[in-house]
Structures are given as C-alpha cells and as structure tokens.
Structure 1
Amino acid sequence: MNRLQQSLSTATTVLVLSALAVGSNLKAVLAASPPSWLQASLNRAEYDALVLPPPVTAEDFYNRGLFFHGEDDLEEALDQFSQAIVLDPDNPDYYFSLGLTYSDLGDHKLARRNYSQAIALDSTFAAAYYQRGLSRLVIPIAQVNQPAAPSLSADQRQNLTLAIQDFSRAIDLSPAFVAAHYHRGLSYYLQGNETLARQDYQKAKQLNPLIAEHYYQQGFSRLYIGGDPSRGLP
C-alpha cells in the first residue's frame, strides 16, 4: 500500500460517506476544507493531484490559479493563469487575476500591463481600473509615509494624475465603490488638493462607515484628513 492509499483509509472513508450524504464528492470536500492529517501525510504534488482535477480547458487552469493563489503559491498561480491566457486570450478575468498576482509579488509594472489588457477586453471592468490606479500609487504612498518625504518627481505626479483617472472611471462604472473614492481622495491629497481629498473621504464614509474607518485606521487618511477617527472629520 503506497502513501496515498494509506492516507485515504479510515478517515477518508468518513469523508466519502459525508460527501455522499450531501450530494458532493471527495474532491470538493477536500478542496473546501482539507484536513490537516491529509496535508501532512502527502507531499504537495500528491495533495494537488487529489484535490485538483487535471487541467484541460482554460477555465481549468484559471481555477487552479485561483486555488494556488489562495494557497499563497504565487509563482504557481502565475503559471496557471498564464496557461489559461494561452488557451483563451480574450478573457479579461484571466488578465485581471494575473495582474493581482503580480501586484502581490510587488511587480507593479507587469500588474498594470495585465490590468490594462483586462480593460482593453472589457471597458466596463471597474475593479481593473481600480487596481491599475492602486498600482500607480505605490511609490507616492511609500514616499509620503516617511516623516520628511521629498517632493514628488515628475513621473510620480504623472502617476497620480493617471491614478485619479483610473479611480474616477471605476467610480463612474460603480458609484458605490468605497475603496475607489478613498484612494482617489488619497491621490488628491498627494497632489495637494485637500478639498477634493476631504470630499472623497466624506463620500467613502457615507457609503460605508466601516470600510472607511478600516482605511482610516491603516493610517493613510490621517495624512490628508487629520484628527481623531472617533470624532469624525476635523
């Protein structure tokens, strides 16, 4: 009996019976909630083969990419999303997910390239505009968080202008997009426009106080709103 067979003995029988009772299957159960004993007894290749079907279609590779991204295996996720794109180069979701993975890896240039491709395929993709805008804010945010941040460079100012355009487009497509309002406000602040910054923060807070408070607690809004979040805007 090999290691895979040993792992799928008594304990797995219980899972199989439970899966049959709810009309599911073993792979679905394991993928949704993999037991620790199973993960510990198999190597990664054996475990992946058990919970993931062999990829055939672009959607298969895409779903595998989502799985690996959820497992924080970003390099493998990149490979799976890229293979999905090879099979179906006209699906904006695939480019968007590839962009998110590059963002997580810190490669914002490649992330923007993929967000732009998603937008080219679907000009109403609000989340792609938002994420592309975020990718343009990375350097300005890192700079302004320093106590004695120098003036922004011409390239950084241009990135802010483009970020505002992206956030504005996301808001046009999805007016209740709280994060887009918030980060457009942050962009306005970095440009020196505190009036528009406050307006966007007020709108974000109006749309969803809890989410706006979350961003506030991250510290960014203190840079352009000031005051105590428990007392509201100054």
Structure 2
Amino acid sequence: MSRLALSLGCGALVIAISTVLPPATATTIRPPDVYAQGMSNPVTAEDYYQRGLSFLEKQDYNRAIADFQKAAQLEPNSVKAHLGLGLVHWLSNNYPETIKEMTKVIQMDPSVVLAYQVRGDAYLETREYQKAISDYTTALKSEQLPVTYFNRGRCYFFSQDYSRALADFDKALQLEPNAIDYYYFRGLTHYNLENYQRAIEDFTRVVTVEEYPPAYYFRSYSYFFLEDYQKSMTDINKAIALDNTDPDYYILRALNYWVVAKHENALTDARKALGMYEREGAKEKIELTKEMINSILLDMK
C-alpha cells in the first residue's frame, strides 16, 4: 500500500515528476512515447531526462536509471533528474539508493513534497521508523494525503506507539473511507490496545471485501479474548481453510478446542503446529508449544 506504483501508477509518476516541482524547476513535459521516437541519439540533459521518463512509463527501469543518471551527470543540479532516479530506485526496491537520491533532491530544493514521501517510504521499508516519521510529518505540513497518514501510522504501529498509530489510521480513513488496508491496520492497533470489539468491527470490514486469512485470524483471537468461542472457532476454521501453512492458526484452534475440553482435537492441532515450527526452526515457539502440549496432557488425566 505504501508503494507509489499502487497509488499512482507508472504513467502518473511521469506526470508527478513535473507537477511536484516548483515552476522555476519544472519544464513542459512532452508525451514520453512521442518524445522517445527518434531519440536513439540524445544529446542534452533534457533529452536523456525525457527518454528516461519514457522508459519509466514502460517500466524499463534499467534504461530509465541509465538515462536519468546521464541527465544528472550533464546537469548535476537537476532536481528532476535526481527525483526521477529516486523514483525508479524505489520502484526497483533499491531503498538505499532511493534514500540517497531523495536526500539530494531535498538538499537542492526542500519544497519538493514527493521527495519526503518517497524517502519516508524507503525508511519504512528499511525499518528506520523515526526517520520515516520525520519525513511523513514534513510532507503532511504541505499535503494531506491519506496514504501518508497511513504510512506514518504504520511507523508508529511498528514502534508500538499504538495511540499515535490509531490517530493516524483514523485520519487516513476519514480521507479515504474505503481503503481496506487502513481498516486492517486499525484493527491490529485496536487488538494491541485490547479494544477487541473495535478490532472485530475493523476486521469485519476487511473480510467483507476480501477473504484475507490474517484478518480472520485476528478477529478469531478477538472473539477468543471476549470468550465467544463459537465465533472464534468459526473464524479460525475459515483462516485455515484459506491458508493451511501457518502454524499460528493451528495453535489458536488448539486453544479453542482446549478451552471447551476437546482435548484430543487440541492435541492434534498443537502437534501439527509443533511439527511446522520445527521445520521452520522457530525455537521459542517450539518450546511454548511443547509446554502447551504437556499442559493439555495433564488436563486429560
């Protein structure tokens, strides 16, 4: 959801590069495909830049990088060339280079909001959450995009600052009320704050649109903590039907069986989860599951 390709698309990025720049920096952008015709021998920085836009729109990232680099070499202070480079590196999942190029853009022109947004996204991907928060906060002073609130909220969430995360997810949903990803993360936040009924409401919004196994899993856990074991069992069965490869799902179902004294079923699921954890080499979960199995066996005596 944080990726610009999802929110804008490559074609829109071509437009964004020019529209985010101030008038003194931006130039008139001719349609990339038209401009690219006959551009086998570019000469000026502008030639390379325009052809780079064409390659960017076609998702030919290696050629786009080469052309933007040449444009930056010919015109070292070209904000748009470095912005183009940063965007292509971002779309290529090269986050260190994204940060490097967007930092250059910001140093040359601190008013380019897109540079803060994209650098923030790169910091989010590299788990440098405080740096990402700083960039998103700067971007939000100029442009109130729901995705920026959402991504800053995720940074707060991963930093376990759930109150601030909740505030940002609320704001993102005010601006974009149909974004399922936003409901999912707000549901996780309510879950971590032990607001289980609110979590259930958000996860329900998710599964109404998409049968997403983790949403069923966390809604199941929310029902479990509210001691509504029947609904919890229904949800965890659905999660397993959609994805039978996650041992955590079997642990939760084992808990549901155990709490209603269906010990044989609980043992079956716990042992299945144990085998999966052992194949994954998840040492801590292996030990916890062994303790769970021993406790179930004691209850059966």
Provide TM-score, normalisation by structure 1: 0.66
Assess if the C-alpha contact under 8 Å between 2:154 and 2:165 holds in 1.
yes
Q: Match for residue 223 of structure 2?
A: 136
Instruction: Provide the C-alpha distance between the structure 2 equivalents of 1:175 and 1:101, rounded to a whole number of angstroms.
Output: 25
Assess if the C-alpha contact under 8 Å between 1:178 and 1:212 holds in 2.
no
**Using a 3 Å threshold, how does the CA distance of structure 1 residues 61 and 170 change in structure 2: closer, same or farther?**
same
Q: Any stretches of 5+ residues in structure 2 without a counterpart?
A: 1-85, 87-95, 104-115
Instruction: Provide the C-alpha distance between the structure 2 equivalents of 1:33 and 1:130, rounded to a whole number of angstroms.
Output: 25
Matched residues, number: 181
User: Kindly, what percent of the aligned residue pairs are identical?
Assistant: 20
Q: Match for residue 13 of structure 1?
A: none
Shift of 1:50: 4.1
* 1:46-92 C-alpha deviation (Å, 9 max, x unpaired): 99444543253322221111011122221111111112222222222
3-state SS of 1:208 partner: helix
Q: Match for residue 22 of structure 1?
A: 97
Q: Match for residue 262 of structure 2?
A: 193
RMSD: 3.2
Assess if the C-alpha contact under 8 Å between 2:146 and 2:175 holds in 1.
yes
Shift of 1:179: 0.6
Instruction: Provide the C-alpha distance between the structure 1 equivalents of 2:260 and 2:218, rounded to a whole number of angstroms.
Output: 19
Assess if the C-alpha contact under 8 Å between 1:163 and 1:187 holds in 2.
yes
Provide TM-score, normalisation by structure 2: 0.52
Q: Match for residue 71 of structure 1?
A: 159
Report the structure number with the largest CA radius of gyration. 2
**Using a 3 Å threshold, how does the CA distance of structure 1 residues 132 and 222 change in structure 2: closer, same or farther?**
farther
Instruction: Provide the C-alpha distance between the structure 2 equivalents of 1:215 and 1:111, rounded to a whole number of angstroms.
Output: 28
- Relative contact order higher in (CA < 8 Å, ≥ 6 apart): 1
Instruction: Provide the C-alpha distance between the structure 2 equivalents of 1:104 and 1:190, rounded to a whole number of angstroms.
Output: 22
Q: Match for residue 92 of structure 2?
A: none
Shift of 1:132: 0.6
Instruction: Provide the C-alpha distance between the structure 1 equivalents of 2:193 and 2:216, rounded to a whole number of angstroms.
Output: 19
* 1:77-135 C-alpha deviation (Å, 9 max, x unpaired): 1111112222222222111110111111111111111111111121x110000001111
Assess if the C-alpha contact under 8 Å between 2:190 and 2:199 holds in 1.
yes
Q: Match for residue 190 of structure 2?
A: 102
Instruction: Provide the C-alpha distance between the structure 2 equivalents of 1:133 and 1:194, rounded to a whole number of angstroms.
Output: 19
Written as runs of structure 1 = structure 2, the 5 A alignment for 1:43-192 is: 48-50=133-135, 52=137, 53-54=139-140, 56-122=144-210, 124-138=211-225, 156=227, 159-192=228-261
Q: Match for residue 214 of structure 1?
A: 285
Instruction: Provide the C-alpha distance between the structure 1 equivalents of 2:153 and 2:175, rounded to a whole number of angstroms.
Output: 14
Assess if the C-alpha contact under 8 Å between 2:251 and 2:273 holds in 1.
yes
- Letter paired with 2:233: I
Instruction: Provide the C-alpha distance between the structure 2 equivalents of 1:223 and 1:177, rounded to a whole number of angstroms.
Output: 22
Q: Match for residue 43 of structure 1?
A: none
- Letter paired with 1:120: T
**Using a 3 Å threshold, how does the CA distance of structure 1 residues 92 and 224 change in structure 2: closer, same or farther?**
farther
Shift of 1:30: 6.2
Shift of 1:192: 0.6
